């Protein structure tokens, strides 16, 4: 099987219902050349069984793999996210938390930008944020961008963090983005509201993506 262009890393602990909604939403994705890596942070055995069931029941058009960490890290998803990066096959990688979602047309324009501009290290969409506001900041700024928005070149992450993500704090998503920018990694904003932070805050989208 040909490796996918895009790898989606989804971290989870015990929010099985959220994960199920997340995978159902991904089934509506119009860009087919993707894989989704579900990385669980060593939840209890019964939760692991439920996660395996949800992954196994995902739409057969999706390429979904499940990885369970052998021990609990409880570091705001950083270790599971990095495991996903190392296991990913795609040229491009993104991070989709279990309670968030991408709208169906999210990937096509972002992949096109990275394909057309090899110097770009990451591109990012705009965001519907928790039913409260919209994040469409350019340039990226702390508290005005979520980790689910960018699509990164995977090699950029591997080059920048050869030993994994080095932080141990809640706001590590901005630390990641700002660290890349400090290294001179270039970016571009595609101003389309195609990433949803907290899908449950948008009942009409939750229904449309069920």
pLDDT given for residue 106 in this prediction = 98
CATH (residue range 6-208): 3.90.550.10
- Helix ranges (DSSP H) in 27-153: 45-56, 78-87, 107-116
Rg (CA), the chain: 16
Q: Which pTM value belongs to this model?
A: 0.96
In angstroms, rounded to a whole number, what is the distance separating the alpha carbons of residues 12 and 26?
16
pLDDT given for residue 2 in this prediction = 85
Across 29-169, where does the E strand assignment appear? 34-40, 64-68, 92-95, 101-102, 120-129, 133-135, 150-153
Q: What are the tens digits of pLDDT across the range 161-185?
A: 999 999 988 889 999 999 999 999 9
Q: What are the tens digits of pLDDT across the range 183-200?
A: 999 999 999 999 999 999
pLDDT given for residue 168 in this prediction = 84
pLDDT given for residue 59 in this prediction = 87
Question: Could you state, in order of their start, the residue ranges of all structural domains in the chain?
Answer: 6-208
In angstroms, rounded to a whole number, what is the distance separating the alpha carbons of residues 160 and 180?
7
Task: List the structure tokens of 101.
Answer: 């979602």
Residue numbers of the chain with a pLDDT score lower than 50: none
């Amino acid at each position: 099987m040909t490796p996918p262009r895009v790898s989606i890393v989804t971290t989870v602990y015990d929010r099985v219902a959220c994960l199920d909604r997340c995978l159902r939403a991904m089934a509506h994705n119009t860009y087919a050349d993707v894989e989704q890596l579900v990385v669980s942070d060593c939840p209890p055995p019964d939760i692991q069984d439920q996660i395996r069931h949800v992954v196994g029941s995902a739409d057969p058009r999706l390429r979904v793999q499940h990885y369970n960490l052998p021990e609990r890290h409880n570091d705001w998803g950083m270790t599971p996210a990095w495991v996903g990066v190392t296991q990913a096959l795609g040229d491009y990688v993104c991070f989709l938390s279990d309670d968030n979602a991408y709208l169906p047309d999210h990937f096509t324009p972002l992949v096109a930008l990275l394909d057309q501009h090899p110097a770009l290290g990451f591109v990012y969409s705009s965001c519907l944020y928790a039913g409260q506001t919209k994040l469409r900041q350019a340039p990226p700024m702390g508290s005005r961008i979520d980790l689910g928005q960018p699509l990164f070149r995977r090699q950029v992450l591997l080059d920048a963090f050869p030993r994994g993500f080095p932080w141990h704090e809640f706001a590590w998503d901005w630390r990641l983005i700002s660290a890349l920018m400090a290294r001179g990694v270039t970016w571009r904003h595609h101003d389309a509201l195609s990433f949803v932070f907290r899908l449950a805050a948008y009942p009409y989208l939750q229904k449309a993506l069920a």
